Chains A and B, each alone.
Chain A
Amino acid sequence: MSAEGGSAKRFVLLGTDYVYPRTTNKILRAFLHSKGVKDEDIMEEYTPFGHSDYQTIIANIKKFASAGKKTAVVSTINGDSNVPFYKELGNAGLKATDVPVVAFSVGEEELRGVDTKPLLGHLAAWNYFMTIKNPVNAAFIKKYQDWAKKNNVPNADTVVTNDPMEATYVGIHMWAQAVEKAKSTDTDKVIAAMGGQTFKAPSGFTLTMDKTNHHLHKPVYIGEVKADGQFNVVWKTKEPIRAQPWSPFIAGNESKQGL
C-alpha cells in the first residue's frame, strides 16, 4: 500500500478453498477495512484443491485491475495449483510491474518445479529466505547441501533451503536446549523449560520462544522472485515480531490479546 510497495489501492484475495486461506482473507479484509479500503475494492476468490485451470480467474483479475487503480493480488493458493496459476499469469501477459502477486506459501522449494521467467518480480512473504547473507545461514545451507549429497537425495546438487526447513531446524534445537535445561525428556517438564528459549537462527536474528503462547518471535521478510528461483529481499522488519495467535483486527478477539 505504501509508495515503496507500489501504492496498491485494490486487492484480490485469491486462495484455495479451505480454512487457512479463508481465515487469512478474513483477517486481511478486516485489516484493509481499517486502512480505509472499501469492499468494492476487494475481490475474494477461491478455487478447489488441485485446480489447474486458472484462465477464468486470471481474466477476472485483469478486468478487476483495469478499473484505473493499482491492483495487487494476495495469493494463498495451496501447493500444486501454483504452477498452473503462475504459468497462466505469465502467458496472459500480467507482469509483476502491472499486478504484483504476493504469495504466502510459495518458497524456494516450490519454485524448483517452475519456469521462473514469467514470475520475475512477484513477491513472497516468509520469515526466512535462502539468500539472506549471514554466517549462520551460510553454515546452515552448507550443512544441508552436504547432507543431501551424502544421502543421495534426488537432484542433490540443486537442493535449496526454505522457511519451513529453517523453522524445523530452529524448533528441534530449541527442544534440545529445553531438554538440557529440564534434564529430562518428560513432556511436561520440557514444556515448562521451553518458554523463553533463544536460538541464533539462520534468518539472521536470535529468535525467542514466547513465554505465554510458545510461538517464536520471528522477523518478517518480503522477497521478490529472481530469475534463478531465489528471492531478493526487498523489505524486512527491524527486529523479530511477537506472534499474535488472535488477530486484533477481528471482532471478538479483544480479550485474547494478552495471550
Chain B
Amino acid sequence: MLITGAELFVKALKAEQIDTLFAYPGGQAIDLFHVLYGENDIDVILPRHEQGLIHAADGYARSTGKVGVCLVTSGPGATNLVTGIATANYDSVPLVCFTGQVPTGLIGNDAFQEVDIVGITRSICKYAVTVRKREDLAVIIKKAFTIARTGKPGVVVVDLPKDIQKEYGSDEYPEKIEIRGYKPNLSVHAGQIKKALETLNSAKKPLFLIGGGVSISHAHSEMQKLAEITGVPVITTIMGKGVIPTIHDLYIGNIGIHGSYAANMAVSNCDVLFSIGTRFNDRITGKIGHFATHAAIIHIDIDPASISRNIEVDIPIVADAKTAISALLEKAQKLDIGEWSEQIEQWKSQYPLFMKTKGLTPEKIIREINHTFDHAMIATDVGQNQLWATQFLELSDKKQLLTSGGLGTMGYGFPAAIGAKIGNPSKDVIVISGDGGMQMNIQEMATAVCYELPIIVCIFNNGYLGNVRQWQEMFFDKHYSSTCMRYRKSCPNICNSPTERCPEYTPDFTKLAESYGAKGIRVTKENEIAAAFETAKNTLKVPTVIEFMIEPEENVMPIVPPGNALDDMILV
C-alpha cells in the first residue's frame, strides 16, 4: 500500500512503541501534525517553547528509560532545540528529534524558516541526517531509534523536508536493520575482567567510583551486590549518585569540586580505583596530576573514547556496565580491608556535610524532602540548588535524581520534571531550582497546569545567580558583576552585598504561579517548611510553587578551589 511520508512517520512511532510525543507545530511540520490529529495511541504534548519541549522529552527519557521523541518545525523551531540536544547528548539520554524542513527543492535557497539544522547539531549529537528521498524514510527512522537507544545512548536528529512528508511511497517499516559503521560493544573481555578482579583482590585500600553509566545501563542492583560481596566502599559522581542507596553503609559520598571530604580523601588515598561509567570530567578530578596518584586504575566504559583520555588507565574494559558488573559478580569475593574502612569512617565523621547557617537553609529543605517523599523523582536546575541537592538528597531505587550533569544547563529542571511526571504519573515529582534558572523556562508553568501535573516546584530564592556570586565572593574580590537578580536601573554601578535598601525582587513567584492557575506558597521561616510540603502533597491537579526565601549569600561548602587537588579543600 502507498502511504504518505507523514503517515509512515506515525506508523514508525507506533512500531517503536512511542506513546508520548513532545511536539510544537509550524509550517514545515503541519503535515505531520495533520496525521497526528485525533490519534489515540500517541499523546501529543504541547509545551510552550521548544527548549522546554526538549528538556521535557529528556526528563521523560531519563525517568522512564524509554526514548524521548521531539517533533518541531524548521528554522527557529529546530534551533530552539539546540541547547536541549547538547544537554541530553552530554548525559547520554536517548532522544530522537524530528525537525520539519523546507521542501528539498528549496534547501539552500535561504527559504523562509530554513536552517541547516543537521550542520548546526552535527557536533552535539550522536547522529544527524536529512531525509532526501521518500524511499529512505523508513530505514532512516529505524536507524535513528536504533542509534539513540543502543550503545552509549544519545540524541539523533532527523530532518524531514516537507515534500517528503507529503510524498506517497511504501508503507513498510523494517523490524531490524544493520548499520555497518555502528557496532556497539555487547560483550566483555573475560581476560580483562580476570585481571581487574586480581588487582581488586590484592588491594588494601580499594574504592569503587560509580558514574552515570551504571545508572543508564540499569545496573543498580548488580552494583549494590558487587559492593556488598566485596565490601569495597563506594563513591559516586553526581550522575552516579543513587546507584546504591545513599544511606547504605558502604556509600561514602560524591567526589569532586563540591564532593564530601571523606569521598575526596578516599579517592586521593586509595590504592585501587575501580571506576565504572564515568569519563573523569574535570569537575570530579580537580588538579589532574594529583588525582588518585597512589592508585592502580581500572576503568569500565562503553565508550572506548572515554578510556585513558583524561586519566591514564591501567586496566581498561570496554563494555556496558551491566554486562561487565554481572561478569565481575561471578568471581567476586570478600576483601579484607578493615583498616581502610575504619579510616573512611573516621573521615566521614570528621567532616560530615552540613550547613552552619541558622534558620531556613537549603539543607533543612532538602532533608524535609527526604523525609516527606517515599517514591519520588527529583529534578534539579543548575547552580547552587543542584549542588546542595546532590550533597543532601537521599536517593535509592525509589528516589531518582534528574540533573544536567555534563552541560550544566540552567532552565533544565522544571521542564525535565514535566516530562518525568508525564512518564511517571504515580510518583511524586519535585523540582529543586534557583530563582535564576526557574526564569529560564518559567513559561512551562502553563504546560504543567494544562496537563494537570501536580509537580512540586521548590525555588531557592537568594536573589542572586548564586554559584557565580559564590565564586565572585571567594575568588574575584567580591565583585558581584551581573549576578544580582534584584538589580535595577536605580542601583549603584558597584555593589558587593545585599542591604535593606535593595529593590524588591521581581517577579513575585507566588503571584506568578497563581496567574498560571498553579498554587503559590512563600516560605520564609524554617518552621514553615513541613506545612508547605504537606499542602503541596495534597494538591492533586495543579503544580505547587514553593518559594523559599533563603540567605542571599549562602555558599556551597566544601569546595576545592580551582587548580587545587581534591584533598586540598576549603571545608567551611
Q: Do A and B bind each other?
A: no
